[in-house]
Amino acid sequence: MNPLPGRVRIVEVGPRDGLQNEAKAVPTEKKAEFIRLLVAAGLTDIEAASFVHPKWVPQLADAQELIARLDPAPGVRYSALVPNMKGLERAISSGIRRIAVFTAASETFNRKNINMGIQESIEGFKPVVDRALKKGITVRGYVSTCFVCPYEGAVGKEKVAEVVRSLFGLGVDEVSIGDTTGAATPRDVEITGGHLIGQFPVEKLAMHFHDTYGMAVANVYQSLQLGFNIFDSSAGGLGGCPYSPGASGNLATEDLVYLLDRLGIASGVSLKLLRLASHFIAGELDRELPSRVLKTN
Ligand code: HMG
Ligand code: MG
């Protein structure tokens, strides 16, 4: 067995992946306060917003106003999703310095999500990434449905590697491997994660688990054993709209930090301060969040 990494970088996606799925929209100034509390807890990579079509994701329609309200903090990077050139133009005028483009390893899912085939999306991202990089904006890439697609079933590791390679070919500096439906198990992670680690630098690959089947923490442990050391998670396990059966939030940041703390792996995040951020946003949403660790004292 490989030694576990000594340090892990957490990419907090609660303000974007979490809030995009919540039934209740949160006012811009409350989102800004939530993000301030996340920074205070030690989170340094925060996906704050999304420049997709506001009709599809009305919860994040205030991206521009929100980014204008974020306090610059040393060592903290805020980022936002960008699906196309129109989204990039909006991102540039907001002043954000990091964006993320996103595609999938399943053709059907990608069409349903962004109305484009996989190859078409990669071609569409090329001028977007080029323009962003010229502006000094750094770019992350996402691949959704890396393990299971809700429409096509099991997704092959070769297909995932092919899409990851295309994204790196565009010039993104990191690719996040998405278990969009939260259906992956540690065995799936071993197969696909092991395949990717053999082909790409591990310091440029993040794991992005959703917790639909309660597998997210087990999947993190499997990933750590493979050498992965960047994980996406959302405070409190935000997301998973209670009115939409089957939808589920991300791996909760508290659950991730508890595991890392107990394994002696540094993350720079204070569980105590993180709880304050999660309780704050739970209050705004007027619901209990799913994180198991958050429910303890
Ligand atoms: P489309 O309808 O194909 O776009 O949508 P279009 O290019 O044909 O344009 C249609 C109209 O939309 C035009 O306006 C455009 O200007 C406008 P009109 O001329 O008709 O007045 N438009 C926009 N307006 C604002 N911002 C934009 C934009 N783009 C076009 N960026 C599009 C394509 C991608 C925009 C749409 O399908 C969309 O917004 N989808 C939302 C997808 C989304 O947010 N999904 C969730 C995030 S991904 C995720 O959660 C997975 C992840 O967490 C990883 C994992 O878990 O796997 C990352
Ligand atoms: Mg996600």
Averaged pLDDT for residues 147-168: 96
145 CA from centroid of ligand 2 (Å): 9
Determine which residue's CA is closest to atom 46 belonging to ligand 1. Answer: 113
The torsion angles phi and psi of 94, rounded to 5 degrees, stand at -80, -20
Its pTM stands at 0.97
Ligand 1, CB cutoff 6 Å, lining residues: 17, 20, 50-53, 56-57, 81, 83-84, 86-87, 90, 102, 113-115, 142, 144, 178, 180, 208
Partners of 178 in the β-ladder: 208
Q: What structural domains does the chain harbor?
A: 9-295 (3.20.20.70)
pLDDT for residue 68: 96
The torsion angles phi and psi of 146, rounded to 5 degrees, stand at -80, -10
The torsion angles phi and psi of 49, rounded to 5 degrees, stand at -160, -175
SS3 123: helix
**Alpha carbon distance 238, 43 (integer Å):** 16
Does the pLDDT of residue 242 top 70, yes or no?
no
Averaged pLDDT for residues 73-101: 98
Determine which residue's CA is closest to atom 14 belonging to ligand 1. Answer: 53
Residue 244: pLDDT band by 50, 70, 90 thresholds? low
Ligand nearest to the CA of 140: 1
**Alpha carbon distance 104, 118 (integer Å):** 7
Does the pLDDT of residue 155 top 80, yes or no?
yes
Averaged pLDDT for residues 120-146: 98
Closest CA to 11 of 183, 227, 262, 208: 208
pLDDT for residue 239: 84
Q: Which residues are within 5 Å of ligand 2 (an ion), measured at CB?
A: 17
Averaged pLDDT for residues 226-251: 84
144 CA from centroid of ligand 2 (Å): 7
CB atoms within 10 A of CB 212: 18
Averaged pLDDT for residues 196-217: 96
Residue 1: pLDDT band by 50, 70, 90 thresholds? low
Does the pLDDT of residue 45 top 80, yes or no?
yes
- Known catalytic residues? 241
The DSSP annotation for 282-296 comes to: HHHHTS----TGGG-
Q: Which parts of 6-148 fold into alpha helices (H)?
A: 28-40, 63-69, 85-94, 107-114, 118-134
